[in-house]
Amino acid sequence: MLERIGRYRVTRKLGEGGMGVVYAAHDERLERPVALKMIREASTDDKARERLWREARAAASVSHPNICQLFEIAEEDGELFIAMELLEGESLAERLGRGPLKVAEAAQTALAMLAALEALHRRELVHRDLKPSNVFLTPHGIKLLDFGLARPFQQEAGDASLTQTGILIGTPRYLAPEQILGRPVDERGDLFAAGAILFEMLSGRPAFDGTAVMEVLSAVLHEQPAVLGGSAAIAALDRVIHRALAKQPERRYASAAAMADDLRRTMALGDTAETPRAHPITRLMVLPLRILRSDPETDFLAYSLPDAVTSSLSGLDSLIVRSSMTAAAFASDTQDLESLAGKADVDAVLTGTLLRAGDQLRVNTQLAEVPGGAVLWSQTSQVPLGDVFKLQDELTRRIVESLALPLSARDRGVLGRDVPATAKAYECYLRANQLGTEARHWTVARDLYLQCLAEDPGYAPAWARLGRIHRVIGTYLDADGRESKAKAEEAFKRALELNPELSVAHNLYTYLEVEMGRAQPAVLRLLERAKRRTADAELFAGLVQACRYAGLLEASVAAYETAVRVEPGIRTSVAHSYFMLGQYQRAIETEVADPPEVAGLALVMLGREAEALERLRSTEQSLLPRSGALHDALIARRTLLEGKRSECLIATHRLLEKSTLRDPCGLFYMGRHLVYLGDLDRGLELLLASIEGGFCCHSFATRDPWLDPIRARPEFRDYLSRSAARYGEAVKAFLEAGGDRVLGVSPAVTA
């Protein structure tokens, strides 16, 4: 071992790696302990020399208590070295070797790490090699080390992660996808690494693992870490982690400060002494079958059979099944499994073909792992046309067996329930499911569900789907609607009597409940299920809607974040929640309604009226037929922006006559619209009707500038008083039901 390096007396070796060595030494001039870092190749390798100089410049340019202090860079006998602060303690990597950290310790470490990154990013530098071994735990806090790979923001693509010889620079499991792909990198690349480290601190295992480098890189590009379960704080931390680990940089936090703010909020939830539980869950997509020869009598099975398999499996705790709507978007004659794995975020895909041969149905299916494409099994099944349920049951069983899913007693019960009594009942059910996706076929679908239930009155899924059809007919087609909604209520209750665990019934029932003024009971019912069904994306999508109607906007957004973490492509109404929170750009980004309901309003609130008007005109031109409530709504919004007040009022009042506005949320929107137009009395009437109908939006109503003309009116003060009371009741019930623990948010007691 060396005895001296310049004026430094070496006391011991601290560590050694492939590229260099670090010594503890004593600075005899300033009488202080230091650490000396030397790179072996620095004397002969220009790249190694440049890396050492880069580290010195980066560290010297930033002064922060959580960044290791650099004293000098010097040369001794032709070899460069850095003299820096000598730290006491251990690296985070060493600490993790003894197991995971408690929630409070992990969150505190992450906050200090983010503070250091924020200081680095203010200098427009990206660390690019953040990992547990570069995070040092001292008795006085953490210190960030090793800035050898630090670069300015937005390096040119191709120069960010690879050397000229194609060697990956950085530790693979902590690299952001854009680093691996050689694309430009900014501060969000470091935040990805911070998310991966936070997950590892909490779970005790890497977020992205594998036995070989290529396996790790594939996991970073295509997979998501396991869900963390436990207390309210852990649920909130899990959302922070998954946002930081988004594959696309634009879906991550915009800054270290923003991520730190969310972390602080999670720590305020308490329960930080607990250690999280990690739940690895398989993610499956069942694609529509490809029809080999069209046949009008059986073509409906191409969609309906995979949909039935999806529904059967969606109740299992150890499996996430992408919805049939999501799967339909990936249907194609040629499947690119690698692309599908990345876009749909799944581990396995079931594909197949459908062919009618006389009175037989031949279905060839295969289950493949993705993105690799390894076939787990392939089979050809042939059944009589009247025995389709046998085929569904066989496919469901083989999927469970081949994926080696750990089935609980509850899971076995789920798979063993809801068997149709006759082949005719099941065929009617499948046909109705297919037709029920389009409004022009709703009444036909209703009649088919009724035929199914005439054959088998005990088939719970058919009651649930019939409830949904009665609801949409009552909302959008009937002149009155009350009779259809009463029938919907009866159908949902019958479904839940037959099978209290039927997810589709719980999820679909939510939309009827909120429209009928029962948002709070819906929230409580869904929360109770969410405590046990943490991977049911549709359940959390229902909570998005129910929480919004109850005025719990932050909880609505939290439910959305959980839902999209489980199923990225799921459709929700969260754009309304963002709009009412005043986050107008997020409302535009998350709008999924076709045509859009919120984007135009959000653009107006952002002062982008011309853009909003252009969108409305384009949508109105594409909408056929030009009649009905939807067309009137577009005319009302367009003429409002064009300044044509009289035309706008005519369209608005015509719209008020339509049955669709029995929805109390619709009444609220129309109320604020009329107030803005100057029809104050009618606007107030609708606002009061909306709160009477069960829609509470107290926080938005208190600050919405469109409602300014009526703020002094006693009727509006009455509205605010009633909405405040309703909101307070909802918060109390939410907290008593453990909603803060389920969703990781604690709503303000007063809005």
Binding residues for ATP: 37
Contact 22, 16 (CB under 8 A): yes
3-state secondary structure (DSSP) of residue 238: helix
Return d(Cα 593, Cα 573) in angstroms, integer: 8
Look at phi and psi of residue 575 and say left if phi exceeds 0, alpha if psi is from -120 to 50, else beta.
Answer: alpha
CA distance 37 to 145: 11
Give the three-class secondary structure for 643. coil
Q: Which amino acid type is present at position 445? A: A
The single-letter code of the amino acid at 227 is V
Phi/psi at 136 (5° precision): -105, 130
Contact 91, 171 (CB under 8 A): no
Residue 742 dihedral angles phi and psi, to the nearest 5°: -70, -45
What is the separation of C-alpha 272 from the centre of its chain, rounded to a whole number of angstroms?
24
Picking from 168, 184, 172, the residue whose alpha carbon sits closest to that of residue 218 is 172
Sequence-ordered list of residues with C-beta below 8 angstroms from that of 223, at least 6 positions apart, any chain: 208, 345, 347
Q: Which two tokens stand for residue 338?
A: 């690698």
C-alpha–C-alpha distance, residues 13 and 5, integer Å: 13
DSSP 225: P
Instruction: Specify binding-site residues.
Output: 37
Q: Strand pairing of 20-27 and 32-39?
A: antiparallel
Cα–Cα distance, 345 to 222 (Å, whole number): 6
Concatenated DSSP letters for 451-465?
HHHHH-TT-HHHHHH
Measured distance between the N- and C-terminal CA atoms of the chain, rounded to whole angstroms: 66
Neighbours of 458 (CB within 10 A): 15
The secondary structure element, H or E, covering residue 163 is none
DSSP-assigned beta bridge partners for residue 8:
5, 27
| Burial group, residue 265, by CB count within 10 angstroms (0-12, 13-18, 19+) | middle
Distance CA 92, CA 336 (A): 40
Closest by Cα among 510, 470, 473 to 491: 470
Q: In Å, how far are 230, 232, 552, 624, 711 from 741, measured between CA atoms?
A: 8, 3, 15, 46, 36
Task: Give me the DSSP letters along 484-502.
Answer: HHHHHHHHHHHHHHH-TT-
Q: Measure the CA–CA gap between 727 and 552, rounded to whole angstroms.
A: 8
Q: Are the beta carbons of 269 and 107 closer than 8 angstroms?
A: no
Q: How large is the angle between the packed helices 664-677 and 537-549, nearest 10 degrees? A: 40
Which residues neighbour 59 within 8 Å (Cβ) at sequence distance 6 or greater? Answer: 67, 68, 69, 70, 82, 84, 147
Q: Which two tokens stand for residue 593?
A: 């309604």
